[in-house]
Amino acid sequence: MDSSNKKQIIIIGPSYPYRGGNSLFVTKTYEVLQKDFDVKIFNYKLLYPSFLFPGTTQFDRSERKVFKVPSERIVNSISPVNWFIVAGKIKEENPDLIIFDWWHPFFGFCLGTISFLLKKEFRKRLLFITENVVSHESNKIDKILTKIGIGNASMFLALSGKVVKELQRFSQSKKIYRSELPIYDCYEANDSDTVSNLKTNLNIKEDHKVLLFFGYVRKYKGLDVLLESFPGILEKHPDTFLLVVGEFYDNPELYLDLIKKYNIGNRVRIINEFVPNEEVYKYYQVSDVVVLPYKSATQSGILNIAYGFNKPVIVTDVGGLAEFVVNGKTGIIIKPDSTREIVDGYDKFLNLQKEINFIENIKEHNTQNSFNKLPEVINQIVEEIE
C-alpha cells in the first residue's frame, strides 16, 4: 500500500527504552500494523515514578534491543500540564485512530484526561486495547481510577474472554473487539549453546526434567504454592529440577523459607534478576515445561514466550489463562491454589509426553494466533468509523 494512502494511527503506550511485557506488546503491535498503516508511538518520557516501581529499573539494559522501534517520548504519567500538551500534539496530527494501551489503574488520570481532551474532536476514534481492566491486586480505588481512565473510550479491543467480561462492567455498552497477545518468538538462541552445556552452567544434571517458573514474582503468581507442591513432585519424580527465574517484586524471604522448610534447596535454583533479552533463551531451552501456577490472571506474556520456544505449559484455570491452552495438547490445565493439582498436573504431563507431540501441537496452535489478524480488525474499526 502506498504510504501516502495509509490511514494514520497513533499508539499511546510504553516502548523502548522501557522493558517488560507492555513494552513488548506495543512493539509487536507497531510491527504488525506498520505494514498497512502509518503508525506512530507516543511513548512515555516518565512511566512510573521511581519510588512506585518495585523492581531495580524500568529500563531495558539488554544488549539485544528486542523492543526497539521508532517512538516519540512525550507522555508524562504524572504531569497534568503534559497531558494537555500531548492532547494538543495529537490534534495537530489528526490521526484516523488513536490507540491507548491500558493495563493498570495507575494511568487512570493520565489517559483519562488525554482521552477527555480528545473526546469532542475524536469521539469515534479512541480505541483502548485492554490487557487487564483492573490490576490483579485491585481495590476500590483501582476500580474508580479504571472508570476514569477508560471512560472516554469509543470502543475497546480485549485480549481475552475474561477481559471482555470485565469490560462489560465499565464499557457502557460500547463495542468490544477481540484479539489476543502475540506469540513472542523474538528471543533468539545462541546456536553454539547446547541444552547439555546450558544445564551444566546452571548446575542441573543432564537427566533431570526441568520445570520453569519465569517472570517477575508477586503473590498472585502462586510461586509459594508451587514450592509447597515440589516435595510431592520429587516423591513421584525424583529426577525433577525447578528453575525460578525473575525479579522478585515481593520479599524473597517468604519463598526462601519454604525452600528451607521442605529441604528442597538442592533441586531448586532461584535467579532473582530481570533477564536481559539475549539470555532469555537459556532458561526456556533447558526446560521441559513452563509452570504458571497463578492465583489470578487475565492472560500472560510468559505463556506466549513459552509458545514462542514451542514449550508446553502447566497453567491454572484462572482469568483468561486457560483460553490459550489446548488441554492435553499444548499444555495441562489445573485448578488454582492447590499443591495436589500441581503434582497431578505434572504427572499427567509426563505421561502424555510419551504419546503426544506437544511441540508440533504448539507450532500448529501458534499459526492460529488471532493477533496475526490485528491489521484486519483495525482496518474494520477504521472503516466503521468512516
Phi, psi for residue 182 in degrees, rounded to 5: -75, 165
- Looking up cell 518495585 gives 54
Share of residues in the chain with pLDDT > 90 (%): 80
Contacts of 240 (CB under 8 A, 6+ apart): 208, 209, 210, 211, 233, 234, 267, 346
Q: What dihedral do alpha carbons 23, 27, 33, 34 form, nearest 10°? A: 130
User: What is this structure's pTM?
Assistant: 0.92
Q: Give the tens place of pLDDT for each residue, 4-39.
A: 689 999 999 999 999 888 999 999 999 999 999 999
pLDDT at 188 over 90: no
Q: Where does CATH 3.40.50.2000 sit in the chain?
A: 3-182+370-385, 195-367
Q: Mean pLDDT for the chain? A: 93
- Is residue 338 classed as helix, strand or coil in its secondary structure? coil
CA angle 199, 201, 206 (to 5 degrees): 25
- In this prediction, residues 345-367 reach a mean pLDDT of 96
Question: Tens digit of pLDDT for each residue in 125-183?
Answer: 999 999 888 765 567 898 899 999 999 999 999 999 989 988 988 877 899 999 999 99
What digits encode the pLDDT tens for the residues 82-117?
A: 999 999 999 999 999 999 999 999 999 999 999 999
Of 111 and 58, more confident: 111
Cβ burial of 226 (10 Å; 0-12, 13-18, 19+) is buried
The order of strands in the sheet holding 126-130 is: 72-76, 38-46, 8-12, 97-102, 126-130, 155-158, 176-178
- Per-residue pLDDT tens digits for 200-234: 999 999 999 999 999 999 999 999 999 999 999 99
Instruction: Indicate the fold that domain 3-182+370-385 takes in CATH.
Output: Rossmann fold (3.40.50)
CATH of domain 195-367: 3.40.50.2000
Please, are residues 242 and 213 in contact by the beta-carbon 8 Å criterion?
yes
User: Distances from the Cα of 245 to the Cαs of 9, 90, 217, 279, in angstroms?
Assistant: 36, 40, 9, 11
